[in-house]
Structure 1
Amino acid sequence: MDAMKLAVTGLGLVTSIGHGVVGSCAALHAGLSRPGPLGGFVVDDGSGEAVPITGYPVASFAEGFFQTGAWVRLASGAFEDLLHAAQPPTRPDFWHRTGLLALTPLVDPDRFGWSLEDLPDALETSYVQPLLSLLEVPIRKENARALALGHCALAGALLQAREMLESRRVDRVLVLAADSYVDPMSLTWLAHHRRLKSPRWPVGLMPGEAGGALLVEAPAAARTREASAIVHVESAVVDGPAEPGSIPARLGRVLADAVKRVLPAHTPHPFRGDLFLDLNGEEWKAQVWGHAQVLLAGQLDLLRCRTVLPADSLGETGAAGAPVALAASAWAFLREHASGEHALVCALSDNGQVSAVLLGHAKASTAVS
């Protein structure tokens, strides 16, 4: 993504620790969390007693919503927060020239009970169209699409956004992301694959849910309409998916290569800044990052990096995890507690696909551009 930077001019979040980007990022920085029992799904505590699994639901917001219904609720809530914070123009022509990329989890038939092979239009009819109706802004249907890439969806969306902007089909792109692991079908799927953390299985993830929103455009276009950039996207890479059965060492090499590709080719010193990882308590992800870390010894100054694990506060948020990380990075730049002028957001999807996104402090990027 070397040909052009992207300016992020609007952000919105809905998480278990805040119904808004300000509250969510402040709580995330403070290390706060709000875990709670997930009713309707119990596990054996090891002594024969049935106990509810612990997760991170968005309380008083998405209860009673299921699969695409929950995604619509979370994504539209994040958009409402973006509207409140960024206050973009309300005139119709602004939204007619705005594209929409709606990010979703990987559609695994074992998790959801349906597949895109059998229902190729399901995301359009059950997610994108209801979302467009609920947003109440006149985004054209032909400029809206779903992107089912799971954890790596943000990087994929940024690459597609650049293509949409370069083709001049739109002037800006609204990216909405949502994912939820707290519904019974997802919990059953996680438990079947022994991925859930429980009294009998201490190594695993804790399910969560979240929605994220960001408005991206070319920096010059943002300046023309006098919109302030919150953070700049310097580069993004998506690689994979890996071959089935790939071992952590191989995945680590793929992830390390992705990170190397987003970093500037010639710099006087290794990367120093915030490092956002989607480590979630699962052993395989920790092993992948361990292998990548060894291979990146010359590119990352880990002693001078601040490593941030959003899942420690939010649980596993899947496709919404990277947008949450981007918002947290922007918040760190704004509040001046970031460890450098750049940040890295790394992600690893369940199918072995990897992604890396390099972010830049808006003021610092403006000064050198």
Structure 2
Amino acid sequence: MSISVVASGLVTAIGFNAAACLAALRAKISGVKTEKLYDLQAGQYLRAARVRLPQWWEGIGKLAELLAPAIAECMDAADGVDSARIPVLLCLPEPGPPDRLGGTPAQLVAALQARLGRPLSPLSRTLAQGQVSAVAALVHARALLAQNDCAYCIVAGVDSFLRQSVVDAYIAPRRVMTASNSNGFFPGEAASAVLLRQSRPDGPELRLLGLGLGREAATIASDLPLQAKGLCAAVQGALGEASVAFHDVDYRIADANGEHYKFKEATLLVGRLMRKRKPERFELWHPVESLGEIGAAIGPAALAQALHAGLHGYAPGPTVLCHFGSDGGDRAAAVLRYT
């Protein structure tokens, strides 16, 4: 049984809904601007990608405010199915330090239900695995949708790096883009969601072909030489399940965020797995360029971008490889095809 992505919802620094955000993403509009986050070492304000909410606040309340509209977009696209019968698999940042969530998952779920004005399905759950959460959620969604009483499922993610304490924690190991450090990311925040159902022959939809997971020993904080073994294992697992050769993938979407580490890992992946020369350019899309580093929200955002690219005809081809990696060493990949 295969499942497919059929709709999306987004709240980001470049748009308050999926249509606006994905159009801006296609146009390569950046949401990164100078914000009231301070680099004490350089004595300068930082550039970051902030969602333009009507007021400023932090923590659980803000994350719920970002997340509710994205999930509501997906619920509204579910053919009139009662939202209480649609499980929500919520992707969250991995436990700190630093603590990007600002509370507990249970508190976030309660705040989310209050803003939605309706309870979530009892089959809903949270997955606090950072960037790889979405692939773990897809594994669970596939099992849920195999049940006859579950017509739809939502995979959603939310994250924010825009607290001074969080920024300070990433500035210390020189991971944030600053005036004195070009090997870093722009902090961001976002909520993203995708609606899934069992695949149908009538389309249009983004069909999930394969999933893979891996573990990297040479993390970004490690002194070990990076050989991309964890990412290679995840991608090989996804390709094997999909029965797709690496050279038959048309393009890639990844969580590359401006740090040399992630681009090196993506380059090593191609060098290790490409067995046949591709006649055309093998594009690597990195939405973080426009959205800032959005952590656990990157997975559903990448799936939304792939669906939009297929619907509007600007994808290099129908088959896409999405791959992600968390700071702790988890790696994940998904192969999908637009039909």
TM-score between the two structures when normalised by the length of structure 2: 0.90
Q: Confirm or deny that 1:147 pairs with 2:127.
A: yes
How far apart, in 2, do the equivalents of 1:82 and 1:57 lie? Answer: 23
Aligned-pair distance for 1:234?
1.6
For structure 1, the residue ranges without an aligned partner over 5 or more in a row are 364-369
Quick one: which amino acid aligns to residue 296 of structure 1?
A: L
Q: Confirm or deny that 1:130 pairs with 2:111.
A: yes
Secondary structure, aligned partner of 2:324: strand
Q: Confirm or deny that 1:33 pairs with 2:30.
A: yes
Q: CA 1:302/1:233 → structure 2, altered by over 3 Å: closer, same or farther?
A: farther
Q: Confirm or deny that 1:164 pairs with 2:164.
A: no
Aligned-pair distance for 1:246?
6.9
Partner residue in 2 for 1:294: 271
Q: Confirm or deny that 1:258 pairs with 2:234.
A: yes
Aligned-pair distance for 1:105?
0.7
Aligned-pair distance for 1:267?
5.4
How far apart, in 2, do the equivalents of 1:170 and 1:138 lie? Answer: 16
- Choose from 296, 299, 323 the match for 1:322: 299
Q: Confirm or deny that 1:208 pairs with 2:188.
A: yes
1:70-117 alpha-carbon deviations (Å, 9 max, x no partner): 321111121233355x26316xxx333321111111111333598xxx
Q: Confirm or deny that 1:59 pairs with 2:47.
A: no
1:138-165 alpha-carbon deviations (Å, 9 max, x no partner): 433x312111010001101000111222
Q: CA 1:246/1:151 → structure 2, altered by over 3 Å: closer, same or farther?
A: farther
Q: How does 1:13-162 map to 2 (within 5 A)?
A: 13-45=10-42, 50-60=43-53, 63-83=55-75, 86=77, 88-89=79-80, 94-112=82-100, 122-124=104-106, 126-140=107-121, 142-162=122-142
Partner residue in 1 for 2:282: 305
How far apart, in 1, do the equivalents of 2:188 and 2:101 lie? Answer: 20
Task: Give the RMSD, CA atoms, in angstroms.
Answer: 2.6
How far apart, in 1, do the equivalents of 2:80 and 2:268 lie? Answer: 46
TM-score between the two structures when normalised by the length of structure 1: 0.83
Secondary structure, aligned partner of 2:63: helix
How far apart, in 2, do the equivalents of 1:211 and 1:30 lie? Answer: 20
Q: CA 1:80/1:247 → structure 2, altered by over 3 Å: closer, same or farther?
A: same
Indicate conservation of the 8 Å contact 1:58/1:210, yes or no: yes
Quick one: which amino acid aligns to residue 38 of structure 1?
A: E
How far apart, in 2, do the equivalents of 1:360 and 1:113 lie? Answer: 33
Aligned-pair distance for 1:56?
0.6
Q: CA 1:292/1:248 → structure 2, altered by over 3 Å: closer, same or farther?
A: farther
User: 1 or 2, which has the higher helix percentage?
Assistant: 1
How far apart, in 2, do the equivalents of 1:268 and 1:200 lie? Answer: 42
Q: Confirm or deny that 1:8 pairs with 2:5.
A: yes
How far apart, in 1, do the equivalents of 2:244 and 2:214 lie? Answer: 24
Partner residue in 1 for 2:333: 356
Aligned-pair distance for 1:238?
2.2
Indicate conservation of the 8 Å contact 1:272/1:301, yes or no: no
For structure 2, the residue ranges without an aligned partner over 5 or more in a row are none
Q: CA 1:239/1:168 → structure 2, altered by over 3 Å: closer, same or farther?
A: farther
1:237-259 alpha-carbon deviations (Å, 9 max, x no partner): 22226477373534x12211211
Q: CA 1:216/1:87 → structure 2, altered by over 3 Å: closer, same or farther?
A: closer
Structure with max Cα Rg: 1
Q: How does 1:233-248 map to 2 (within 5 A)?
A: 233-240=208-215, 242=217, 245=222, 247-248=224-225
Secondary structure, aligned partner of 1:110: coil
Partner residue in 1 for 2:258: 281
How far apart, in 2, do the equivalents of 1:299 and 1:359 lie? Answer: 20
Indicate conservation of the 8 Å contact 2:157/2:299, yes or no: no
How far apart, in 2, do the equivalents of 1:269 and 1:189 lie? Answer: 37
